[in-house]
């Protein structure tokens, strides 16, 4: 009976997380277009619904009803497989992020942590699934049987695997401080000092390196040469139309959401809202709810920062990009690990 | 009834044999390389199975080291393959039977 | 329950392994090999080795196979043709040996007795692996890091084109004579019949080092 309740709870948790992720991502697309519009001195889409609220549904309808064009000489199996791999890899990372602390569900006496799966190796799981996501892009570029797609796919995947290294190394500093790979415990440890003991105070360099690597990892401006419209036609998704393109689009924004959630979890304190434990008691439903909302607010702030960057910066050239990733970011990440390890070894107060 | 150690070892033996068959049959040098990786993974499975059933962590440590060696071998091996391809314009192992280019 | 999972992942591993060997297109072989790695990672999780499973996905499926797929795409490898029929008598021998293998596996599965210890208590967790790796097995760890350094240096040496021509080498405009052994890899080192080139670009092209001069220092 217990296992049945567990399984039902897991399914409910997965469904809730899935719906939340899709809604946030859909409205991120809308928010990006509006915010970019404001930065560029124009209004974004504001016709559909009040202020453009229903725009994502209009886009979804357009994608479903559009004609699906398949190139004639493409490798059919891989052509269909690539967006599936990209989307699956993007969605699979959602299960390890903690949305809230141990919360009591109202009207019952069950206390569950607000995370779908509490893996002992949570962070390694995220890094592994991110590595699998590279395949979607490479196979998409190859299977389109188009020189521009192939070049875009190869460049994009070269960029992604280069910045994956800096991403992983920048997280090691935070893990050294936290002492565990379990993301739920990392957030629990950041609840000292009335919810203000965030790891960014101890790891500012690590945070900066992580943000830069994350932007490069998700192919966003200023690192979006492989998919910029003025460059290689549209990069690896040139030959994709309608729903398959929607899947790639979705996968990119879900990836953005994922790295923002990872940044929030590891560096910005996760679900810790400062001074919330003086208002509600820990473990109650309201504490959990406000914590989850606080988490989403932090993630939305980071997403706003990404959109802001997109409207502000020009893009890197490809060799500058690779230069930056290998010659500047990687040594900086290694120096960060070295400094953090030294500070922990010398038992500097705060760093233990 | 749980999966026994012998089942894991049998699975590993089958994977290893498939790898050996691939190395013998394939004519493309990259495909041969992939079959070698398959053999290494079969051995990894044996190590991890023993580590689990005998409660000793050294099996998993050895898997760690085998993976590292396989990564190093992959990097250098693919570099050699690219260099060979540049000189011979073909990746067929049967045609590369003499040392002269 | 665990038996079903074992049959599922084991079957998937064997199926993908057979696909690696049977496919003629090397890209399909590579994708099937990724399938093998992921099903092996799931088997490692079943064997209470989550850290090794994650490392398998990150290193093998996420890095080594990406490299292999890169090489396949860069070299534009075609499918293998149906091989020349060679040594036909080996086929029945192979079938006989496969039958022996299957018989051995069946024998093991049927007759070996049950052997189960208590569920492992923290053997595969990151903590225990880290502790052993940095205390008792420190020497293999350090040797492995030097091995990786050797691999990096080796890969970079192999990737350099044009032998020992440095990136800042410039040919003065005008006819330049170069020893033939620099240009023709089949020539002996003391073959001094000259090769003529008119500019750095032509010399670079002859030497096969066309990628060396980057155009970022020229205003376009």
Per-domain boundaries in chain B? 5-96
Backbone angles phi, psi at A225, to 5 degrees: -55, -40
Does residue C22 sit in the same domain as residue C62? Answer: yes
C34 min Cα distance to partner chain A (Å): 9
Q: What pLDDT sits at residue B93? A: 79
pLDDT at C40 over 60: yes
DSSP for residue B28: B
B20 min Cα distance to partner chain C (Å): 10
User: Which chain B residue lies closest to C14 (C-alpha atoms)?
Assistant: B15
pLDDT bracket for residue A150 (50, 70, 90): confident
Question: What average pLDDT does range A151-163 have in this prediction?
Answer: 87
Backbone angles phi, psi at B4, to 5 degrees: -85, 165
Does residue C24 sit in the same domain as residue C69? Answer: yes
pLDDT bracket for residue A204 (50, 70, 90): very high
B vs A contact (3+ beta-carbon pairs below 8 A): no
The CATH code belonging to domain B5-96 is: 1.10.287.3510
Q: What pLDDT sits at residue A145? A: 80
pLDDT at B55 over 70: yes
pLDDT tens-place string over residues A314-324: 888 888 888 89
Contacts of B78 in chain C (CB under 8 A): 67-68, 71
pLDDT at A8 over 60: yes
C51 min Cα distance to partner chain A (Å): 7
pLDDT tens-place string over residues C154-167: 888 887 765 544 55
- Whether residue C32 is contained in a domain is answered as yes
Does residue C197 sit in the same domain as residue C143? Answer: no
Q: What pLDDT sits at residue A68? A: 80
pLDDT at C27 over 50: yes
Q: What pLDDT sits at residue A347? A: 85
Q: What pLDDT sits at residue C217? A: 41
pLDDT at A257 over 90: yes
In chain C, % of residues over pLDDT 70? 66
Interface of A with C (CB under 8 A): 75, 78, 81, 119-121, 124-125, 127-132, 134-135, 138-139, 141-142, 150, 154, 157-158, 161, 181, 319
pLDDT bracket for residue C84 (50, 70, 90): low
pLDDT bracket for residue C214 (50, 70, 90): very low
pLDDT at A3 over 90: no
Higher pLDDT residue, B35 or C171?
B35
Per-residue tokens: A163: 């910045």
A135 min Cα distance to partner chain C (Å): 7
Highest mean pLDDT among A291-295, C33-37, C118-122 belongs to C33-37
A130-144, B43-57, C108-122, C154-168: range with lowest mean pLDDT: C154-168
Cα distance between residue A127 and residue A303, in whole Å: 20
Highest mean pLDDT among A31-40, C189-198, C210-219 belongs to A31-40
pLDDT tens-place string over residues A79-89: 889 999 999 99
- Whether residue C171 is contained in a domain is answered as no
Q: What pLDDT sits at residue A193? A: 80
Question: What average pLDDT does range A176-191 have in this prediction?
Answer: 89
A64-73, A242-251, B54-63, C208-217: range with lowest mean pLDDT: C208-217
Asked whether B64 and B47 are in contact (CB, 8 A), the reply is no
The partner residues of C196 in beta bridges, in order of sequence, read C177
Contacts of A135 in chain C (CB under 8 A): 31, 34, 66, 69
- Whether residue C88 is contained in a domain is answered as no
B19 min Cα distance to partner chain C (Å): 8
Cα distance between residue A198 and residue A114, in whole Å: 19
Does residue C21 sit in the same domain as residue C72? Answer: yes
pLDDT tens-place string over residues A76-126: 888 889 999 999 999 999 889 998 888 887 777 777 888 888 888 989 999
- B6 contact C CB<8A: yes
Q: What pLDDT sits at residue A263? A: 93
Highest mean pLDDT among A52-66, A228-242, C22-36 belongs to C22-36
Contacts of B31 in chain C (CB under 8 A): 20, 26, 29, 80
What distance, in Å, lies between the first and last C-alpha atoms of chain C? 66
**CA geometry: angle at A247 spanning A241 and A251, to 5°?**
135
- B50 contact C CB<8A: no
Question: What average pLDDT does range A54-69 have in this prediction?
Answer: 86
Does residue C43 sit in the same domain as residue C5? Answer: yes
Inspect the interface and report whether the beta carbons of C73 and A142 lie closer than 8 Å.
Answer: yes
Q: What pLDDT sits at residue C193? A: 62
The partner residues of A114 in beta bridges, in order of sequence, read A100
B23 min Cα distance to partner chain C (Å): 9
Alpha-carbon Rg for chain B, nearest whole angstrom, is 17
Q: What pLDDT sits at residue C83? A: 65
Cβ-nearest to C58 among A127, A154, A181 = A127
Cα distance between residue A292 and residue A294, in whole Å: 5
- B90 contact C CB<8A: no
* Range(s) of the domain holding residue C210: 180-219
- B95 contact C CB<8A: no
Find the DSSP H helices in C76-137: 90-111, 126-134
pLDDT at C143 over 80: yes
Cβ-nearest to C62 among A132, A139, A141 = A132
- Whether residue C5 is contained in a domain is answered as yes
Report the 10 Å Cβ neighbour count for C27: 21
What distance, in Å, lies between the first and last C-alpha atoms of chain A? 42
Does residue C42 sit in the same domain as residue C70? Answer: yes
Q: What pLDDT sits at residue C156? A: 84
Cα distance between residue A156 and residue A232, in whole Å: 11
Question: What average pLDDT does range B9-33 have in this prediction?
Answer: 91
> What SS3 state is found at C214?
coil
Report the 10 Å Cβ neighbour count for C89: 6
Q: What pLDDT sits at residue A212? A: 94
In chain C, % of residues over pLDDT 90? 35
Contacts of A330 in chain C (CB under 8 A): none
- Whether residue C110 is contained in a domain is answered as no
Could you give the number of structural domains in chain C?
3
Question: What average pLDDT does range A237-246 have in this prediction?
Answer: 80
pLDDT bracket for residue C219 (50, 70, 90): very low
Interface of C with A (CB under 8 A): 27, 31, 34, 38, 50-51, 54-55, 57-58, 61-63, 66, 69-70, 73-74, 125-126, 214, 216
pLDDT tens-place string over residues A334-346: 999 999 999 999 9
pLDDT bracket for residue C220 (50, 70, 90): very low
Cβ-nearest to C59 among B61, B67, B82 = B67
Cα distance between residue A306 and residue C93, in whole Å: 63
> What SS3 state is found at A300?
helix
Interface partners of C (3+ CB pairs, < 8 Å)? A, B
Cβ-nearest to B18 among C21, C148, C151 = C21
CA–CA distances in Å: residue A3 to residues A6, A109, A284, C38: 5, 16, 24, 27
- Whether residue C58 is contained in a domain is answered as yes
pLDDT bracket for residue A253 (50, 70, 90): very high
Inspect the interface and report whether the beta carbons of C54 and A128 lie closer than 8 Å.
Answer: yes
- ipTM for this prediction: 0.93
Question: What average pLDDT does range A221-240 have in this prediction?
Answer: 72
- B54 contact C CB<8A: yes
A181 min Cα distance to partner chain C (Å): 8
B4 min Cα distance to partner chain C (Å): 7
Interface partners of A (3+ CB pairs, < 8 Å)? C
| End position of a domain, from candidates C18, C53, C78 | C78
pLDDT at B76 over 90: yes
- B27 contact C CB<8A: yes
Cα distance between residue A236 and residue A248, in whole Å: 10
pLDDT at B63 over 90: yes
CB pairs under 8 A between B and C: 204
pLDDT at C95 over 60: yes
Inspect the interface and report whether the beta carbons of B11 and C14 lie closer than 8 Å.
Answer: yes
**At what angle are helices C26-46 and B29-53 packed, to 10 degrees?**
0
Question: What average pLDDT does range C73-91 have in this prediction?
Answer: 75
> What SS3 state is found at C176?
strand
Contacts of C63 in chain A (CB under 8 A): 131, 161
Q: What pLDDT sits at residue A149? A: 80
What's the whole-model pTM score? 0.86
Per-residue tokens: C59: 């290193």
Inspect the interface and report whether the beta carbons of C58 and A128 lie closer than 8 Å.
Answer: yes
> Which of C10, C93, C101, C188 should we substitute to test contact with B (largest number of B Cβ atoms within 10 Å)?
C10
- State the greatest distance between any 2 C-alpha atoms of chain B, in Å, as a whole number: 59
């Amino acid at each position: 009976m217990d296992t049945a309740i567990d399984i039902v709870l897991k399914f409910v948790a997965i469904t809730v997380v899935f719906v939340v992720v899709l809604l946030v991502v859909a409205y991120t697309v809308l928010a990006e277009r509006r915010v970019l519009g404001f930065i560029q001195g124009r209004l974004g889409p504001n016709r559909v619904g009040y202020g453009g609220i229903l725009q994502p549904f209009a886009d979804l309808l357009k994608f479903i009803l559009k004609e699906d064009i398949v190139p004639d000489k493409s490798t059919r199996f891989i052509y269909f497989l690539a967006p599936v791999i990209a989307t699956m890899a993007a969605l699979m990372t959602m299960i390890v992020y903690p949305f809230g602390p141990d919360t009591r569900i109202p009207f019952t006496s069950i206390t569950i942590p607000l995370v779908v799966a509490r893996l002992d190796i949570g962070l390694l799981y995220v890094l592994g699934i991110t590595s699998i996501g590279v395949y979607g892009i490479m196979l998409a570029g190859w299977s389109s049987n188009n020189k521009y797609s192939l070049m875009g796919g190869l460049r994009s995947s070269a960029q992604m695997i280069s910045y994956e290294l800096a991403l992983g190394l920048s997280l090691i500093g935070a893990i050294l401080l936290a002492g565990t790979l379990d993301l739920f415990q990392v957030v629990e440890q950041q609840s000292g000092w009335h919810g203000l003991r965030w790891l960014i105070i101890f790891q500012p360099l690590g945070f900066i390196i992580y943000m830069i690597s994350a932007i490069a990892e998700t192919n966003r401006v200023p690192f979006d040469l492989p998919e910029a419209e003025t460059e290689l036609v549209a990069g690896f998704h040139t030959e994709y139309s309608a729903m398959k393109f929607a899947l790639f689009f979705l996968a990119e924004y879900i990836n953005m959401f994922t790295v923002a959630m990872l940044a929030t979890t590891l560096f910005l304190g996760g679900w810790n809202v400062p001074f919330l434990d003086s208002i509600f008691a820990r473990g109650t439903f309201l504490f959990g709810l406000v914590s989850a909302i606080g988490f989403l607010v932090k993630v939305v702030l980071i997403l706003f920062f990404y959109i802001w960057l997109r409207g502000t910066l020009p893009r890197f050239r490809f060799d500058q990009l690779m230069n930056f990733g290998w010659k500047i970011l990687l040594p900086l990440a290694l120096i960060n690990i070295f400094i953090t390890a030294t500070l922990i070894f010398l038992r500097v107060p705060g760093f233990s | 009834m749980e999966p026994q150690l012998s089942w894991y070892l049998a699975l590993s033996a089958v994977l290893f044999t498939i790898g050996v068959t691939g190395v013998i049959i394939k004519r493309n040098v990259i495909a041969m390389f992939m079959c070698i990786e398959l053999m290494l993974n079969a051995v990894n499975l044996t190590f991890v199975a023993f580590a689990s059933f005998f409660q000793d962590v050294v099996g998993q440590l050895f898997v760690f080291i085998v993976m590292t060696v396989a990564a190093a071998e992959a990097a250098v091996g693919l570099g050699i393959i690219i260099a060979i391809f540049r000189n011979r314009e073909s990746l067929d192992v049967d045609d590369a039977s003499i040392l002269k280019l | 329950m665990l038996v079903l999972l074992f049959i599922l992942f084991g079957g998937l591993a064997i199926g993908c392994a057979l696909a690696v060997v049977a496919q003629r297109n090397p890209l399909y072989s590579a994708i099937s090999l990724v399938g093998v790695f992921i099903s092996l990672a799931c088997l490692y999780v079943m064997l209470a080795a989550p850290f090794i499973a994650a490392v398998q996905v990150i290193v093998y499926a996420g890095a080594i196979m990406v490299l292999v797929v890169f090489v396949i795409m860069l070299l534009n490898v075609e499918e293998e043709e149906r091989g020349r029929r060679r040594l036909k008598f080996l086929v029945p021998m192979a079938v006989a040996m496969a039958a022996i293998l299957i018989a051995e596996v069946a024998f093991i599965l049927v007759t070996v007795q049950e052997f189960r210890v208590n569920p492992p208590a923290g053997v595969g967790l990151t903590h225990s692996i880290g502790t052993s790796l940095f205390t008792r097995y420190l020497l293999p760890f350090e040797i492995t890091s030097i091995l990786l350094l050797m691999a990096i240096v080796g890969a970079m040496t192999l990737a350099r084109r044009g032998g020992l021509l440095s990136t800042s080498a410039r040919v003065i405009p005008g006819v330049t004579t170069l020893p033939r052994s620099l240009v023709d890899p089949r020539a002996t080192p003391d073959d001094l019949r000259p090769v003529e080139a008119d500019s750095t670009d032509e010399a670079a092209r002859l030497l096969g080092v066309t990628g060396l001069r980057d155009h970022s220092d020229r205003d376009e």
